[in-house]
Amino acid sequence: MKRTAVSLCLMTGLLSGCGGAGFNNAEQNVQHQNETKPIHVSDRDEAFNRHDKNEQFGYVRYQKEQIDGEQQETPAPDREETAHIISSLTVQLPHIQDAAVLVTDQEALVVYKTDSRNRELTADQVKKTAVSVIPRYYHVYISDNPNHMQAIKNYSNLNSGSRDVRDIMSGTIQEMKNSPQGSPVSENENANGETRQDKETNRNDKNAR
């Protein structure tokens, strides 16, 4: 009877040891797989995703080698959605009644109606709102002249491949810059997020034509 009890204890111990090793190996394999692909909050257990999608925090993790691979393309921002976010946030600012936004592959053009007596302060708020949404390399141009709304609406039919698209938009952008543009984005960038190098590049592009 004692032999049977001892045998059972030994077998139980061996099985527990094997099971523990197998679990540890499986956990390590899962961890290794997670390190080789992006981790999204939606990949978590279903219990973590019972809230409304708009309430759920967003979480994604990339490792450098995933981006450096030739087959991996960095996702471009959804321009329509970005314009929607900027416009909806802008009209929530004080003294803003209307806001139209055009987002291209390099710029965000924001035209708004305001009854503010402090145009500079309002312009700075509008500009900072747009900058907080778009990618860092974008340039932002704003105007509190409602007449520019129709102009940027007309440009919404264009795309990145449209012929002479930069020349077509440059006139309106220069006119928009007659309105207050807010404070400089940084020490090396003007109020529109342009650096000295950006200006030189644009000047060279125009001369090349």
Contacts of 177 by beta carbon, 8 Å cutoff, 6+ apart: 141, 192
Residue 89 included in any domain: yes
Domain with 58, as residue range(s), is 27-70
Note whether 105 and 134 are same-domain residues. yes
Note whether 107 and 128 are same-domain residues. yes
Report d(CA 76, CA 62) in Å as an integer. 16
Q: Identify whether the C-beta of residue 141 lies closer than 8 Å to the C-beta of residue 192.
A: yes
Residue 19 included in any domain: no
Tell me the two tokens of residue 157. Answer: 């039919």
Residue 101 included in any domain: yes
Note whether 157 and 60 are same-domain residues. no
For each of the chain's 209 residues, which pLDDT tens digit applies? 545 554 545 445 544 554 455 545 555 554 555 555 655 545 555 444 555 667 888 888 878 777 666 555 666 789 999 999 999 999 999 999 999 999 999 999 999 999 999 999 999 999 999 999 999 999 999 999 999 999 999 999 999 889 899 899 999 999 999 999 999 999 999 999 999 888 776 655 555 55
Residue 11 included in any domain: no
Note whether 109 and 59 are same-domain residues. no
Q: What integer pLDDT is reported at residue 48 of this predicted model? A: 46
Domain count, the chain: 2
Q: What integer pLDDT is reported at residue 59 of this predicted model? A: 85
Residue 155 included in any domain: yes
Note whether 92 and 195 are same-domain residues. yes
Note whether 60 and 119 are same-domain residues. no
